Chains A and B, each alone.
Chain A
Amino acid sequence: MNDKPEKLIDKKGVRLDGRKADELRPVKVQVGVLPNADGSAYIEHGKNKILVGVFGPREVHPKHLSMSDRMVIKCRYHMAPFSVQERKSPAPSRREVELSKVIRESLEPSVFVDLYPRTGIDVFIEVLQADGGTRCAAITAASLAIADAGIPLRDLVVACAAGKIDDTVVLDLYDAEDKLGMADVPVAYMPNLNAVTLLQMDGVLAPEEFETALNMAVEGCKKIYLVQKEALRTKYMTTVVKEEAEE
């Protein structure tokens, strides 16, 4: 585990986990997995396993946090102690507090916050297993959970990262590539409105490389969007299929 491999990507353009440069990890999504939450979703993005539960809209507690002209979104990103190889302390770390904020801000533009003033929604993100790119997978699942709670949305938000390993721009970095690679660019995107809601960069990229990475991440988002949309449809399809069978 600790020895650094010589190359992260070989001459044929095959990465350590056998993927090509512009290939995503397999994504599986399920909606409505938690009956106690108003909305929920579960995502498996490669080896990442993330569970999201959404409550609301409901009254905000404590009351002074509510806003008289809009809905507030509260978001908690949390990694389970067993989500990484070395036990992680369950107390929120600096990184988790930052990611909670970043995820909240990437979801906020998609929600019609001015429709229900003085209310709030709570988004609870629980990372059960982490393998790089958890913020992106979390955003994809959280947006679905919000839609599942019946909260009006401008669009679903999908997220995907791109980065640079061994001087090659690649899509959807996993844990080893993220740690040993040269740069990571997570992007959250609203596919129908063609709008980016999150754009971060960690590492060093030339302007041209950054542009390729961004475009690559957006293409990745579009692919994940199809899976995301299908997951939402599957939950609500059952009732509609019945109708077609009887007509």
Chain B
Amino acid sequence: MPTFFEKKQLVTPGELLAEGDYQPGENTYMEENRIYAQRIGLVDAENKRVNVVALRAFYVPKVGDIVIGTVIEVGFNGWTVDIKAPYTAMLRASDVLSRPFKPQNDELSQVLNAGDLIVAKIASYDRAHDPQLTVGEPGLGKITRGQIMRVTPTKVPRVIGRKGSMISNIKQETGCQIILGVNGVILVTGKNTADEELAMMAIRKIEEESHTSGLTDRITQLLKEEKSKMEENKT
């Protein structure tokens, strides 16, 4: 029962990874006892389970995910929202207005208009139905200030870090509030633009160097250096 890869090796779709008593994990598939890669990425095996960490993928909705989306259309009883996924999401009017919705009394475009950005949670989604969003929880709803950036969805876990170490680090150093959409859209809100730029620069660096080890320490150091530079410029 051999495997045909070294740890963290770069593999391309269709490459044979293992044969025999193995389980196909993420981004792999099994055919006649053999496991092949589905996407370009780095292979890893844990307990007979072969995984490929994809270097390129797109976001697939999952119930409970927090995402950031753009309103693209105001409809009769809700909004169509682009969540950077293969499917566009729906947000129902009755979910936003915490009272019964009557088309005669409420003008939906005054609540949310096309182009508005929202933080929302996926309320329901399956193969047969487009995702439904909800904003009925604290922290969700229309975004009024801050800056938006996008990273590859597969790299969001790296930005969060182990047990949130990376993200809490950036928050602490820059004093910014950061909301990570699982779909790869990130909202950075700080006291001023300089703080926001600093946080965004750090996140971009994480995206670029997401495979390297000891990244958390280097990001912390980077942020400290940049901050002291900013202090110098002020005086």
Taking Cβ atoms with an 8 Å cutoff, the residues of A that contact B are: 38-39, 56-59, 68, 110, 112, 116-119, 147-156, 190-193, 229, 232-233, 236-237, 239-240, 242-243, 246-247
Contact = CB atoms under 8 A, between A and B. Distances in A.
B1 interface: no
B42 A240 contact: yes
22 contacts: A57-B58, A112-B38, A119-B87, A147-B39, A148-B40, A149-B56, A150-B56, A150-B57, A153-B14, A154-B14, A156-B12, A190-B14, A192-B15, A232-B40, A236-B56, A239-B55, A239-B210, A242-B209, A242-B211, A243-B211, A243-B212, A243-B213
B226 to A, nearest CB: 21
Given A119-B87, A192-B36, A232-B40, A150 B14 contact: no
Contacts of B87: 59, 118-119
Interface of B: 8, 10, 12-16, 27, 29, 31, 36, 38-40, 42, 54-58, 60, 86-88, 127-128, 208-214
Contacts of A68: 128
A240 B10 contact: yes
A33 to B, nearest CB: 15
Nearest to B212: A243
Contacts of B211: 239-240, 242-243
A103 B58 CA distance: 24
A40 to B, nearest CB: 12
A52 to B, nearest CB: 16
A147 B13 contact: yes
Nearest to B153: A150
A123 B22 CA distance: 34
Given A239-B209, A246-B212, A147 B12 contact: yes
A38 B212 CA distance: 25
Contacts of A243: 209, 211-213
Contacts of B56: 39, 148-150, 236
Given A192-B16, A242-B211, 15 more contacts: A110-B14, A112-B29, A117-B128, A118-B87, A147-B12, A147-B13, A149-B56, A151-B58, A153-B38, A155-B13, A155-B36, A237-B10, A239-B210, A240-B211, A243-B209
A57 B86 contact: yes
A226 to B, nearest CB: 11
A240 B213 CA distance: 11
A59 B86 contact: yes
Contact of B13 (A117, A156, A240, A246): A156
A139 to B, nearest CB: 15
Nearest to A155: B14
User: Which of B12, B210, B211 counts the most chain A CB atoms within 10 A?
Assistant: B12
